[in-house]
Chain A
Amino acid sequence: MTSESGGAGRGAHSGFTLSINDPTVRAVVFQVLIIGAVVLLGWWLVHNTLDNLARRSIATGFGFLEREASFGIGESMIDYHPRDSYGRAFLVGVLNTLKVSVIGIIVATVIGTLVGIARLSSNWLLAKLASLYVEVVRNVPPLLQLFVWYAVITESMPSVREAFNPLPGVFLSQRGIKIPVPESDPVWNWMIVALLVGVAAAIAMTRWARARQARTGQPFPVGLASLGLIFGMPLLTWLVGGAPTAMDVPRVQGFNFVGGATMSPEFFAILFGLSIYTAGFIAEVVRSGIVAVNWGQTEAARSLGLSSGNTLRLVVLPQALRVIVPPLTSQYLNLTKNSSLALAIGYPDLVSIANTTINQTGQSIEGVAMIMGTYLTISLGISLFMNWYNKRIALVER
C-alpha cells in the first residue's frame, strides 16, 4: 500500500500515460469493479431464482392479485369479502397499517411530549415517575410489550356477559372495547365539511392578521378567533341540522354485543403497545430539544417585554423544534415500520395479509416485494413531509 502511494507521485510526472497509479484512472477502475461485482451478484441471484422457480413451476408476475383471495379479514376500513381479489385484500392491509400508524403517531406524540416535559418538572416525584416510565419502556422489546397488552385484554378481561362497564355504554371485555357512536345522520357528514371550512378560514385569517400586524402594528386575537372558527362552524352546522342526539349504544345480545363501535383486542394491543413504546423515545427527544435552548434566550425575550406565553411561542419553541424535528421524524418512521409487528398478534396489517397471501399462492417474491415497496413509499412520504417541515422551521442564516 505504501509503495503504491509512493508510485503515484512518479506517475504524475511521466506525462500522459494510462497508469493504475493515476487517481482518475484508479477511480474509474474501482467503480467499474464494484458496480460490476454488484451487477454480477444481482444477475447470479436472478439466474438462480428463475432456475428455482422453473423447477418448482411457480409462475412469476402479479397476475395472482386478481384471483379470489378466499380468506376472511377480521377488520377492514373498506368493504371486503373473502370472494374479493388478493389485490383488494392487500389494499385492506395497507389501509389498516396506515390507520394504526397515523393514530399511533398522534397518541405517541401526545404521551411522549407530556412525559418529556414531566421529566423536566420541578416536581421531584413527577420527574422520577417520568424517568421510570422512559427507562422501563425503552429497555423492553416492543414485541414483548405487544404480547403483554394483548394478553391483558384477552386473558384478564371478563367475558362478554360479565363485561366491565366503567361508563354508561362503554364495555370492556375479551372481545375488545365497545363504545357508543352517534347514529348515522347526514348532519355528521356536513359537520366534517364545516370543520374543514373552519380550518381553512382560520388559516386564511391567520395570514391576514399577520399581514395586517406587519403593516399597521395592530395585533389581532388570532388564537381565540381560530378556536371559534374551528369549533364554532361544526357546532353551528349541528344546530342548524336539527341537533340530532340519537346514539347507537352497544348492548349484550346472546353471546356478543350488537351496535356501537368496536376497538378489537388486536387493534388495542398494537396501538397502545406501539404508542407507549415509541412515546418513551419521543419523551427523550422532546426533553433534549427543550434542554438545548439556552436559558439566556428566555431571559432575553423576557427583557424585551414578551409575555411568558409569547416567549414560549415565539422564542423557545421555534428553537427547540429545530432540534426536535429530525429525531422525531425517525421515531415516526420507526413506529410505522414497527406496526409490522401486528403479524405476531394477528392484527390484519399489510404484512400479515401479505403473509397469508404468500402461504396460499406461493408468490413469495412478489409478496415480499409488495411489502417492501409499500413501506418504502410510506417511509419516503413521511421523510419528504418532515423534511419540508424541517426546512420551513430551519434557521435562516443571513
Chain B
Amino acid sequence: MTENVQHAGSLPDERPPITVVGPIAWVRNNLFNTWYNALLTISIIWLLYKIIPGLLSWLVINAHGFSAPVQECRADYSGACWSFVSEKLRFILFGTFPYDEQWRPLLTIMIFIGLLAASCDKRFWKPWFLAVWAGGLALVSALMWGGVLGLTYVENSLWGGLPLTIILSVVGLAVAFPMSILLALGRRSNLPGIKAVSVAYIELIRGVPLISLLFMASVMLPLFLPNGVTIDKLVRAQVAFILFAAAYMAEAIRGGLQAIPKGQYEAADGLGLGYWLKMRKIILPQALAIAIPPLVNTFISFFKDTSLVIIIGLYDLLGTAKAALTDPTWRGFYKEAYLFIGLIYWVFCFFMSKYSQWLEKDLNRARRR
C-alpha cells in the first residue's frame, strides 16, 4: 500500500492533452471553433494567398533597387521602382530648401522628434521643460531661417516637406494651447457674456471644414489687415491652424474640466481661493492630466490635417510628393511616392496613438489608487 502511494507520487507528470494546449489547440480554439469560423478562416487564407504573393513580388522580388535607372523601371514595370524614392528623397523630405543647406531642416526634424519623444516621459512634465521647448523652438527658427551664426538666410517660402508639416502642427499646437485653456474656462464660466463668446467661437470653428478656414486665411486675411500690412502664406496658414486647433483642444480640455468632482471646486472655494488661484492650483492640474489623451488624439488629427495646406499652395510632405510626381522623367510612379510618405505619416500617427492609449491606461491606474 505505502509502496503504491510512493510509486504514484514519483510518476512523471502527464503532459496535458494536445487538444487543450499547444499550437493545435490554439488553432482549433481561435480559427476553427465553429463551422462559420472555419469557413471564414479558409476564405481569408485563400484571399491572403491571392493577394500577398503578388504584393511581395511587386514590393520586393521584382522591384528595382534604389539605384536603378529610370529606363530600367520603364522597361519592366512589374515591380516597384524604388529608385524614385532615392532620387526624390531629399526633395520630398525638404522641398525647395537650398540643396547644400539641407542639413538644417534635417537637424530641425531631429530636434522636434527628440523633443516630442522626451515630452512622452512623465518625468519631464515639469515647468522647466517648457523652457527647454522654448529653447528648442528658438534653435529651430535659427536653423530654418538662418541669418545668424554665419548661416545664410533662407526665406520661408522655400521651406517644404517634413519640416513644414512638423512646424505647422507643433507651432500651431503650442500657440493654440493657452488659447484653448482660456476658451474651455470661458465655456464653463458662469458669466453669461463670456460663456456666449466662447461657445460661439468654439461651435463656429468646429462647424466648418478646415479648408474653409484655410481659404479665409489665404484670401480674406489680407483684406482684414490695415492697408499696406502684408503677411506671407506660411504665416496665414499657421494662423488658420491655430484658430482651428484652439477650438478642438478647448473641447478636449472642457471634457477634463467636467470630469473634476464638484467637491474640488467647493473645497477650493472653502479655502477662500480666488477664481484664478483656484483654477491654477486645484482644477487645471487635475483637468489637464485627464485631458492629455484626448489632446494627443487632437494632435494626431491635426498632424494629418496639415496635409491640407497643399490646397492653398504650400508644399508640405504631401505637396512635395505630388510635386515630385510632376517631373516628366519620373512621372507615373505615384504608388512608390504615396507609399513612402504614407509610411512617414503612419509611423508618426501610429506611435502617437499607441502612446495616447498607453497613457490613458496609465493615468486611469494612477487615479484609481
Contacts and interface: CB of A to CB of B under 8 A. Distances in A.
> A52, A147, A379 — which one has the most chain B CB atoms within 10 A of its CB?
A147
B223 A375 contact: no
Interface in A93-149: 121-126, 129, 135-136, 138-144, 147-148
A343 B208 contact: no
B346 A139 contact: yes
B322 interface: yes
B360 interface: no
Interface string A28-44: 00111011001000000
B223 A138 contact: no
B212 A35 contact: no
Interface of B: 30-31, 33-34, 37, 40-41, 44-45, 191-194, 197, 204, 206-212, 215-216, 219-220, 222-227, 272-274, 276-277, 300, 304-305, 307-308, 310-311, 318, 322, 332, 334-335, 338, 341-342, 345-346, 349-350, 353
A5 interface: yes
A376 B208 contact: yes
Contact of A341 (B211, B224, B338): B211
A48 interface: yes
Contact of A123 (B41, B193, B223, B225): B41
> A338, A340, A365 — which one has the most chain B CB atoms within 10 A of its CB?
A340
Query: B interface, by DSSP: helix, strand, loop or mixed?
Result: helix
A79 interface: no
A147 B338 contact: yes
> A135, A140, A337 — which one has the most chain B CB atoms within 10 A of its CB?
A140
A13 to B, nearest CB: 14
Given A34-B194, A341-B308, A351-B209, 19 more contacts: A4-B274, A8-B274, A32-B193, A34-B193, A121-B40, A122-B33, A123-B30, A123-B33, A124-B30, A125-B31, A129-B44, A139-B349, A143-B308, A337-B208, A340-B210, A344-B311, A358-B219, A365-B220, A379-B207
B346 A375 contact: no
14 contacts: A1-B277, A31-B193, A48-B226, A49-B220, A125-B41, A125-B44, A139-B350, A140-B346, A143-B318, A148-B338, A148-B342, A368-B215, A375-B212, A380-B207
A186 to B, nearest CB: 41
Interface of A: 1-2, 4-5, 8-9, 27, 30-32, 34-35, 38, 45, 48-49, 51-53, 55, 121-126, 129, 135-136, 138-144, 147-148, 151, 155, 337-338, 340-341, 343-344, 351, 355, 358, 364-365, 367-368, 371-372, 375-376, 379-380
A371 B215 contact: yes
Contact of A53 (B216, B219, B223, B332): B223
Contacts of A126: 40-41, 44
Contact of A140 (B44, B192, B274, B304): B304
Contact of B208 (A143, A355, A372): A372
A8 B204 CA distance: 37
> B33, B226, B308 — which one has the most chain A CB atoms within 10 A of its CB?
B308
Contacts of A51: 226-227
A204 B325 CA distance: 59
> B45, B209, B216, B272 — which one has the most chain A CB atoms within 10 A of its CB?
B209
Given A31-B191, A135-B350, A138-B349, A123 B31 contact: yes
Contact of B194 (A30, A52, A136): A30
B192 A31 contact: yes
Nearest to B338: A148
Contacts, number: 162
A380 B204 CA distance: 11
A38 B345 CA distance: 38
Contacts of A48: 223-227
Query: A interface, by DSSP: helix, strand, loop or mixed?
Result: helix
A141 B345 contact: yes
Nearest to A371: B212
A147 B319 CA distance: 11
A370 B264 CA distance: 45
> B223, B304, B310 — which one has the most chain A CB atoms within 10 A of its CB?
B223
Contacts of A355: 215
Contact of B227 (A55, A121, A365, A367): A55
Nearest to A38: B197
A116 B34 CA distance: 20
Contacts of B224: 45, 48-49
A126 B31 CA distance: 9
A52 B223 contact: yes
Given A4-B274, A31-B191, A125-B44, A143 B310 contact: yes
B172 to A, nearest CB: 15
Contacts of A372: 204, 207-208, 212, 216
B345 A139 contact: yes
Contact of B346 (A38, A136, A351): A136
Given A2-B277, A151-B338, A155-B332, A31 B209 contact: no
